[in-house]
Amino acid sequence: MANCIRCGRQLPGFSFGKKICQWCRQHEAYQRGEVPDDAPQTVMPTPWVRRRESTIGLTQIIFGINAAVFLGMALSSGTVLDFPWEEAIRWGANYGPLTLNGEWWRLLTNVFIHQGIIHFAFNMWCLWNLGQLCESLYGRWTYAAIYLTCGLGASLASVAWHPNGSSVGASGAIFGLAGALITALKLGEFSVPRSALSGTLRSLGAFVVYNLIFGFVLPGVDNTAHIGGLITGLIVGALIALIAPQQDQAPRRIVVFLVMILALAGGAIGTAYHYGVPLRLGRVNYERSANVPERAPTHSAIHDLSVHAD
C-alpha cells in the first residue's frame, strides 16, 4: 500500500498515481491562500500516535483482570510466591486431562492466571509495554481479538505437546502480540517513520529471540506455548496486513479472526482425536481424566503434578 510522500500516512486502496494524501493537499491549498481562513480543516492524527478512546486503555483493563485473579488466588491460598497447583487448576489452569476431556474454556482462562508473584510481575511488565504499542496501532477491538486469539493458539500448542500437564500465564498471548507487530510492520501495514520502524523491529526481534533462548536454556519455561503464541501472532498479523490493513475495514478483520478461530478449533479436534479422547464439552472430574500420558511445564516453571480427585 502506498504512503504519502509528505507525511507518510497510508493512502487509500487503489490510489494509483497519487503521492500526496487528502490532508496534505488540503493543507497546501490553505498555505497558498486557496482556502478561506475560516474554512474547517480536517485533523488527521498520525498513525503512530496513540488515540485515546477513553481514559483507561484496554491494556490497563487486561492488566486489571490479571491483577484481580492474582489477588484472588493469593487470598485463597495464603501465599504470593508460588501457588499450589491444585489452586491454579481450580482457578482455570490449562490442565491437559481436564481440557482435552471437555473443559476447553481452560485454553482461555489460563491466560489470566499466574503461578506466583515473579511470574505475574514479569508477564505484566511485558504486557504493559507491548500491549500499549499494539493497542495504539491496531485499535481497541482488533487488539483484544489478537490477544485472545494468540492466547488460544499458545494454550492449544501447550496442551497438544504436553497433554498431561498444567500450564498458566499470559506469556503465550504476549508473544502473539510481538509476532503480530513484526509481520504488520514488515509488510507495511502502519505508516511509521523509517527510523521508528527499524528501531521497533529490532526491539521486537530482540524480545522474541532473547526469551526463546531463555526458555530453552532454563528448565521450567513452556516454550511450546511461547512458540504457539508467536506463530499464531505472525499469521494473524500477516492476514490483517494483507487483507484488512485499515481500521475501518472491520468486516474483513472479522473474517480473519473467524478463520483463525475455525483453524484453532480444528486443531483442538485433531489433538483430542490424536490422544483418543472423545470430543465433548462439559465439566470433568479428576478421576475421569487421569490416564492421558506425559506431563507439561507451566509458562514459567515446570511442576511435577500429582493432582487427584478431591
Amino acid at 169: G
pLDDT over threshold 50, residue 162: yes
What are the angstrom distances between the C-alpha of 144 and each of 66, 80, 189, 273, 309? Answer: 14, 28, 18, 30, 36
Enter the C-alpha cell of residue 39.
474554512
Q: Could you report the per-residue pLDDT of 263-298, keeping only the tens digit for each?
A: 999 999 999 999 998 888 888 765 555 444 444 445
CB-based contact 21:9 (threshold 8 Å) = yes
Q: Could you report the per-residue pLDDT of 107-146, keeping only the tens digit for each?
A: 999 999 998 999 999 999 999 989 988 998 888 999 999 9
For the domain made up of 60-289, the CATH class stated in words is mainly alpha
Q: Where are the beta strands (DSSP E) in 1-106?
A: 94-95
Instruction: Give me the DSSP letters along 211-278.
Output: HHHHHHHSTT--HHHHHHHHHHHHHHHHHHHHH--STT-HHHHHHHHHHHHHHHHHHHHHHHHHTTPP
Distance from C-alpha of 166 to C-alpha of 305, rounded to nearest angstrom? 8
300 Cβ partners below 8 Å, 6+ apart?
114, 115, 116, 118, 119, 122, 123, 169, 171, 220, 221, 222
* Domain ranges across the chain: 1-44, 60-289
pTM, whole model, 2 decimals? 0.76
Distance from C-alpha of 45 to C-alpha of 23, rounded to nearest angstrom? 10
Residue for grid cell 474547517: 40
Q: What letter would DSSP give residue 302?
A: B
Distance from C-alpha of 191 to C-alpha of 213, rounded to nearest angstrom? 31
Residue for grid cell 486443531: 267
- pLDDT at res. 264: 96
The catalytic residues are: 171, 226
Q: Could you report the per-residue pLDDT of 80-112, keeping only the tens digit for each?
A: 888 888 889 999 999 999 999 989 999 999 999
Q: What letter would DSSP give residue 13?
A: T
